[in-house]
Structure 1
Amino acid sequence: MALAEGQRTALKNLARKHAGEDVDWINIADARALTDLGYAQRDRVGWKITPEGIAALAALND
């Protein structure tokens, strides 16, 4: 899978956020790109990683 560096950073930050950690801001353009790929979603409280995003991040770390 080919993600831009900013998208990788956003995906990692979303995973850290999902784990309950404090994270830096998430670049909106990168988060939208992740949403288009199904790796993130936007709700009333902000961006969240999806199960597909968690799997994609695990694949990046292999």
Structure 2
Amino acid sequence: MTTPASCSAAPAHHSLAITRAHAEGDAANLHLSGVQSAPQLVGERRFGMCGRLRPFDVAGAASR
């Protein structure tokens, strides 16, 4: 099987390196992680891929 010239294995190798680091107890890659908070919109529920829902305003999300 051949891979297109535009396809790169670099992302897979990067993910493997992170997984190996975690296995060794190194979680330095998580220093940029964070939690976002977005208020749920009130009002009428809308149809979505998972049934009826009230969407969240992620544009107005605040970091914690």
Q: TM-score, normalised by structure 1?
A: 0.32
